[in-house]
Each structure stands twice: as structure tokens, then as C-alpha cells.
């Protein structure tokens, strides 16, 4: 990995952690260079220009160096600061955790960068949280080359049509099975329309009735690439929802 002596490039902060006495390591997701580990020297000092950099911030960055960690030279915030409080913050943590777990440093993924940025804006500005998450998960699998073919039945080749209201079966890591085949172990029953949405451009929101099944399909697919270690963001989300439910019950009976 070489220095960017001129110009720089766009990046998002995925994570930060202390480094040595006063510095920080920033995990950046850049458009042209992929994921990048960058040392912000003196970044924990209150007056450092790097002190306020945190997850969910869009930047223009320059660095120098080679190897696993480079040295951050410049980081300027770009555009509006998006709102990642409450549920939005947990979604941000989830998206960033997926990128940190499933991508490698130094692997350029400009298409995934654009999808990630679009997802953040959809969540923070348009409130399209669930739709945006399902679209991001499927696009992530597609770009990394892990998305199964959802266009035809894995066994007989029958093509899936958008107007097919019958139940098909999502088969993680394999594809789909049409209604004429016995469901294999681990398959997830889904309306044909829901699978057609997942296989398409996902430009419009899916039917609300499809959302639980879509979540199960994509969660099962991603789990196969995350090894045995569970996502920390899932644990925090469950705790957040449990607390939100408890607060709602207390208000209802108070």
C-alpha cells in the first residue's frame, strides 16, 4: 500500500481504538483503496485535528506509508454530519461490523463503497432502515461473490417469475428450490415475489409481509461467512429492543 502524496480520496470511519500513548488507529473504508488501517498520531490529544473523528463520519483523507498500518496525514469532514443516535447508531455499528469482518484491508471495492454510502444516507435521512439493511446485505454478498443465484430452481432450472405467488424455498449457499421439489434441510419458505425482489435491483421497497422471511434468508447466508463468532451488534440490538419494550410496558401501566 503506497502513499497518496497528491489529492487524497473519500473515506468513511468504520472504527477507532487507542494506539500507544496519545495516538489512534482508524479503520477507514476508502473508495479507491478499500479498507485501510491508519495511525492518527497524537489523535487522542484534545486539540488534535483527528480527535473528533469517529464512526459514521465522511472524510477526505491523505496518508503515507506501506504495510498493515499507514500514517494519516490529513482528514477533512465532507458534507452534512448524519444522525446516528439511537437505533440508527446500532444499524451503523452492524454495517461497520460486517465490513470489518468480511472484507480485507487493501482490497478496493468502489461499488461496495457506493452501496454503503447510499445505505447510510437512506437510514439517517430517509428513515428506510429495514429496507436499506436487506438491500445492503444482498449487495454485500453479490459484490463479494457469495450471493447464490435466485433466478432459477437449483434442481430443475425452472425460472422464477415475479408474478409467481406460490411458495419457493431459499437454500443458503445454493440458491432456490421451486415448489415441485421437496425442501432441503435448512431451506426457508418464501413467496416467489419476495425472492424476485431480492434477485432484482431492489429500487423500491419490498412488501411488508416479505420482510421477516428476507431477514431470515440473508441472516442465514451471512452466518455462513462469519465463522462461529457472533456479531456484537446483534447482541446490542437485542438488548436495545428488550429495553425499549420494557420502557413501553412501564409507560402503558404507569
Predicted confidence (pLDDT) at residue 145 exceeds the cutoff of 80: yes
Please, which residues have CB within 8 angstroms of residue 232's CB and are 6 or more apart in sequence?
Answer: 93, 97
Segment 90-103 shows an average pLDDT of 96
pLDDT of residue 81: 86
pLDDT recorded at residue 250: 43
Position 112 confidence tier, pLDDT thresholds 50, 70, 90: very high
pLDDT in tens, 177-224: 999 988 888 999 999 999 999 999 999 999 999 999 999 999 999 999
State the pLDDT at residue 243: 74
pLDDT tens-place string over residues 146-182: 999 999 999 999 999 887 889 999 999 999 999 998 8
CB 162 within 8 A of CB 202: no
Residue 235: count of CB within 10 angstroms of its CB: 10
pLDDT for residue 248:
36
pLDDT tens track for 113-135: 999 999 999 998 776 788 999 99
pLDDT at 246: 54
Number of continuous H segments (helices) and E segments (strands) in the chain:
6, 8
Taking the C-alpha atoms of residue 8 and residue 13, their distance in angstroms, rounded to an integer, is: 15
The C-alpha cell at 208 is: 411488508
Assign 109 a pLDDT band (cuts: 50, 70, 90): very high
Lowest model confidence (mean pLDDT) among 80-84, 100-104, 220-224: 80-84
pLDDT, residue 35, reads 95
Whether the pLDDT of residue 71 is over 70: the answer is: yes
pLDDT value at residue 244: 63
Question: pLDDT class for 6, splitting at 50, 70, 90?
Answer: low
Q: Walk me through the domains of the chain, giving residue ranges and CATH numbers.
A: 9-77 (2.40.50.140), 167-223 (no CATH)
Instruction: Give the separation between CA 56 and CA 123, rounded to whole angstroms.
Output: 12
| Separation of alpha carbons 149 and 174, rounded Å | 7
* 1: pLDDT strictly greater than 50: no
pLDDT score, position 191:
93
Q: What is the pLDDT of residues 24-70, one digit of tens each?
A: 999 999 999 999 999 999 999 999 999 999 999 999 999 999 878 99
First to last CA, the chain: 59
* pLDDT class of 228 with cuts at 50, 70, 90: confident
Amino acid at each position: 500500500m503506497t502513499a497518496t502524496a497528491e489529492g487524497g480520496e473519500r473515506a468513511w470511519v468504520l472504527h477507532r481504538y487507542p494506539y500507544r500513548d496519545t495516538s489512534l488507529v482508524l479503520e477507514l473504508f476508502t473508495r479507491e483503496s478499500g479498507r485501510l488501517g491508519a495511525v492518527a498520531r497524537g489523535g487522542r490529544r484534545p486539540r488534535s485535528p483527528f480527535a473528533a473523528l469517529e464512526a459514521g463520519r465522511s472524510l477526505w483523507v491523505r496518508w503515507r506509508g506501506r504495510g498493515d498500518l499507514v500514517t494519516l496525514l490529513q482528514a477533512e469532514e465532507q458534507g452534512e454530519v448524519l444522525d446516528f443516535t439511537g437505533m440508527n447508531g446500532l444499524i451503523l455499528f452492524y454495517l461497520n461490523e460486517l465490513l470489518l469482518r468480511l472484507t480485507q484491508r487493501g482490497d478496493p471495492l468502489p461499488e461496495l463503497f457506493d452501496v454503503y454510502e447510499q445505505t447510510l444516507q437512506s437510514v439517517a435521512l430517509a428513515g428506510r432502515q429495514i429496507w436499506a439493511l436487506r438491500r445492503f446485505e444482498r449487495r454485500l454478498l453479490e459484490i463479494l461473490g457469495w450471493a447464490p443465484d435466485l433466478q432459477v430452481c437449483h434442481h430443475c432450472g425452472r425460472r422464477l417469475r415475479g408474478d409467481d405467488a406460490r411458495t419457493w424455498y431459499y437454500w443458503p449457499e445454493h440458491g432456490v428450490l421451486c415448489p415441485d421439489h421437496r425442501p432441503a434441510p435448512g431451506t426457508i419458505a418464501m413467496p416467489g415475489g419476495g425472492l424476485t425482489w431480492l434477485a432484482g435491483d431492489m429500487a423500491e421497497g419490498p412488501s411488508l409481509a416479505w420482510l421477516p422471511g428476507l431477514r431470515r434468508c440473508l441472516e442465514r447466508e451471512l452466518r455462513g461467512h462469519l465463522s462461529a463468532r457472533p456479531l456484537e451488534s446483534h447482541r446490542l440490538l437485542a438488548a436495545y429492543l428488550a429495553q425499549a419494550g420494557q420502557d413501553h410496558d412501564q409507560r402503558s401501566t404507569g
